[in-house]
Amino acid sequence: MPELPEVEHAARSLGAQVTGAQIVGLSYIDWERMIETPTAAIFADLIAGRQIIEVGRRAKWIVATLDQGWTLALHLRMSGVVTVQGPEAQPNKHTRFVLGLSDGRQIFFDDTRKFGRLRLLDAQGLALLDQAHGVEPLSEAFTPSLLAQIVSERGTRIKPLLLDQTKIAGIGNIYADEALWHAQIHPMRAASSLSADEIERLHASIIVALQQGITHGGSTLRDYRNSYGEKGNNQEHFRVYNQQGEPCPRCGSMIEKTIVAQRGTHYCPNCQTL
DNA sequence: CATTACCTGCAA
DNA sequence: TTGCAGGTAATG
């Protein structure tokens, strides 16, 4: 499910509800393998009593700053959903862990496919997480000249380059296709073949596509919900993603779906130039 | 770069 | 029954 706009909403809605709250402990876990560091037992020990200072996002990670120098980092991968529930809520078939709060509320993590990942990090671990990712595309640091530099590096096609989290953080399959449509660039274009003009357009288009996603509360194809349990609406505003067989909103040609770098890829064969 | 693996559920 | 899904890591 979640790419930058969805994780942004997940983090914001979580922060709105639990900033300042105190974690009593890990009250339920049924998939210990999702805790990457430390071990589940040590995690349970360390998380008990922590206060949540702030909730933010880095790349596709929800990052919660805790007291005593700890950071809780949660990746939703494909089907993860974090919600805040009342004291009466019970784990269901897809609930992977629950954190109890001192006021009785509970932070639930549901994840059908069990791909979600959880880490409790010290300052060094947090620094490593940060270093593992590229520029935040909605930050000031993301400029056309930086994109020009990224694009010139190697002989890869443009779509897989957009999906590379070590280059630009947070773009996934939906927003890569949407951004390339806005920029009128074919997903199979050699990245290094982009003109200065196209790089300008792509830079602006990445921001437009992500901002549009945020504006509409993220995209809910199946699982995505924010921490209030609400779906996003951006799927109603897709230009190409899942629009195969529909007319291109710009030129009217039929949108096609193909495979690029092993991912389903949607584009207009007429107005996205190869 | 491509393929496979990790998991589960759903639509074709 | 098969293939596919918003993501990523590990392996040829």
Q: What angle do CA A166, A36, A80 make, to 5 degrees?
A: 75
For the segment A125-130, the average pLDDT, to the nearest whole number, is: 97
Distance, in Å, from the CA atom of A22 to the CA atom of A29, rounded to the nearest integer, reads 19
- A28-58 pLDDT tens trace: 999 999 999 999 999 999 999 999 999 999 9
Coil/strand/helix, residue A40: helix
What is the rounded (10 degree) CA torsion for A192, A195, A196, A200?
Answer: -90
Spacing of A263 CA from C4 C1' in Å: 10
Q: Scan for tokens 């890869």, then name that residue.
A: A156
What is the reported pLDDT for A73? 98
A261 CB neighbours strand B below 7 A: yes
* Neighbour-count burial of A103, counting CB atoms closer than 10 A to its CB (0-12 exposed, 13-18 middle, 19+ buried): exposed
Could you say which DSSP state residue A104 is in?
A: S
Provide the edge-to-edge strand list for the sheet that holds A71-75.
A35-37, A117-121, A71-75, A61-66, A52-58
User: Cα–Cα distance between A143 and A236 in angstroms, integer?
Assistant: 29
Whether A89 contacts A59, CB under 8 Å? no
Would you say A51 and A74 are in contact if contact means Cβ atoms under 8 Å apart?
Answer: no
**8 Å CB contact between A207 and A187:** no
Q: What is the mean pLDDT of residues A71-84?
A: 97
Q: Which one is catalytic: A3, A6, A8, A178? A: A3
> Does residue A1 register a pLDDT over 70?
no
* Model pLDDT for residues A212-262, shown as the tens digit of each residue: 999 999 999 998 999 999 999 999 999 999 999 999 999 999 999 999 999
The strand pair at A35-37 and A117-121 is best described as parallel
Tokens read off for A249 = 């909103």
Any atom of strand B under 7 A from CB of A113?
yes
**A263 counts as catalytic:** yes
Catalytic residue among A60, A117, A167, A189: A60
CA of A76 to C1' of C7 (A): 9
One-letter amino acid of A206: I
Q: Which helix (H) or strand (E) holds A75?
A: strand A71-75
A58 part of the active site: no
Please check whether strand B approaches the CB of A156 to within 7 Å: yes
**Placement of tokens 């921001």 in the chain:** A207
* A135-177 tens-digit pLDDT: 999 999 999 999 999 999 778 999 999 999 999 999 999 999 9
Residue A114 annotated in active site: no
pLDDT of residue A155: 82
Residue A255 has a pLDDT of 96
Is 0.85 surpassed by the pTM of this model? yes
Residues 68-107 of A with CB under 7 A from strand B: 93-94
State the pLDDT at residue A263: 96
- Tell me the per-residue pLDDT of A11-27, one tens digit each, with 9 for 90 and over: 999 999 999 999 999 99
Amino acid whose CA is nearest the C1' of C9: A115
Q: Which regions of A147-188 does DSSP assign to beta strands (E)? A: none
